[in-house]
Amino acid sequence: MRLLRDEALASGDAHLGTRFWIFPQPPFIPGYEKPDRIWLPIPRDEIGEGPSDATMYVVDPVQDKEPYGLDRLPPFHGALRLPAAPGPDRHFDNLSPDSRAFLPVHAYACVHFVLNIWQSYLGRPVRWFFDQTFPRLEIVAFVNWDNAQAGYGFLELGCSDIDGIKRPYALNFDTIAHETGHLILLSETGIPTSVSRGGDFFSFSEAFSDLVSLISFLHFESAVDRLLRRTKGNLLLYNELNRFAETSPESQIRLATNFRRMSEVTREVHDRALPFVGAIFDSIVELYHRELVERDCADIRLLDIDLRHLEQDDFDRFRQATAEAFRIKPMVFGLALRAARDAVGQALATSLPSINPDTLRLDQVASAVVAAAGGQAAGVLEANFVWREIISAR
């Protein structure tokens, strides 16, 4: 890595971090055409061209590259496009988000954005599980392949091809966050060596990665704001929250807003992940409602009713009450959603070190998440895991 220095850095504000653009949802989703400007907490003189730093670097192959596999691992040795360079102020928000050269910069920013969130929840840096072999993660910005994958030392991004319209996953925050989720989980639990019969490691890995995507998405101020304005604070309408699965690279429709229980799913890993994802999503919504009720922004009856079997009359009544409160104090709704998001995200992250990847079962993880939650979040999570038949009622 080449360290970059100039006079702007000498002025002393280099430690404030580095600016990037991120699209919280791919730009073809209506309402998300413009990216957000975000700050990564990395000093400008620690990010080299590529971008690259001490923990990761991006490569952008000139020609079609074979996807990595068991017998094909990084580093990539082929010809590369010219590496992306920062502007004269050493920030990376200099490139036009429409340009081809923007892809590696966006992919890099997304991986760091997600990593920062989960490191905050974990309370320490994530050490890559492959760091004995590769000190840094290689991000491949573009592979001509309808998939995205993360593996031993790499995260590579292809492009979706729907009706002949190609869309690079490097612009898809959901996809990048999902793949980063796989890397975080493996780095926290270690690689499974022999998953036992009936072991759930791979199902949990899909669930966790979808949740990393969902919870990280809720860290964009603009996304929370837009979501709440569009729904007038009523998350029973869901909307954006489940869009993260829409262009899933694994071509599975894995909605967080599903109603599946363990007795209704197969052993296929994505299918088996659904009840866990649903339990966590419902817990966020329920904790959000509790926060709203505590702050006098919602009807207290919202907490006693089974939201999965809501009658139209009740729904309309709740919607109207919430919309009225939202019109007067929208900020409180943002606070409530962030509090719910963090209670659940924190519990999920805290549970990770107790997981043995070889013997992991979904009921054990669920119990660990409940134990890590504490307070009213524990009760809400437990009830939702019970409803999903992941754990039994005590």
Binding site residues, Zn ion, CB under 5 A: 209
Q: Shortest Cβ distance from residue 249 to Zn ion (Å)?
A: 8
Q: Reduce the DSSP state of residue 260 to 3 states and report it.
A: coil
Q: What is the DSSP track for 367-385?
A: HHHHHHH-HHHHHHHHHHH
Q: How far apart are CA 285 and CA 221, in angstroms?
A: 18
Facing residues of 48 across strands? 52
180 contact partners, CB below 8 Å, separation of at least 6? 110, 111, 114, 115, 150, 155, 212
Q: How far apart are CA 50 and CA 1, in angstroms?
A: 9
Measured from the CB atom, is 141 or 185 closer to Zn ion? 185
Short-list 236, 238, 250, CA closest to 207: 250
Q: Shortest Cβ distance from residue 254 to Zn ion (Å)?
A: 9
Measured from the CB atom, is 90 or 260 closer to Zn ion? 260
Measured from the CB atom, is 148 or 325 closer to Zn ion? 148
Facing residues of 165 across strands? 162
Measured from the CB atom, is 298 or 362 closer to Zn ion? 362
Measured from the CB atom, is 169 or 326 closer to Zn ion? 169
Four-CA torsion 120, 125, 126, 132, nearest 10 degrees: 180
Q: Shortest Cβ distance from residue 224 to Zn ion (Å)?
A: 25
Measured from the CB atom, is 209 or 364 closer to Zn ion? 209
Residue 191: CB atoms within 10 A of its CB come to 12
Q: Shortest Cβ distance from residue 181 to Zn ion (Å)?
A: 8
CA angle, 195 then 201 then 206, to 5°: 145
Q: Shortest Cβ distance from residue 113 to Zn ion (Å)?
A: 18
Q: Reduce the DSSP state of residue 5 to 3 states and report it.
A: coil
Q: Shortest Cβ distance from residue 355 to Zn ion (Å)?
A: 17
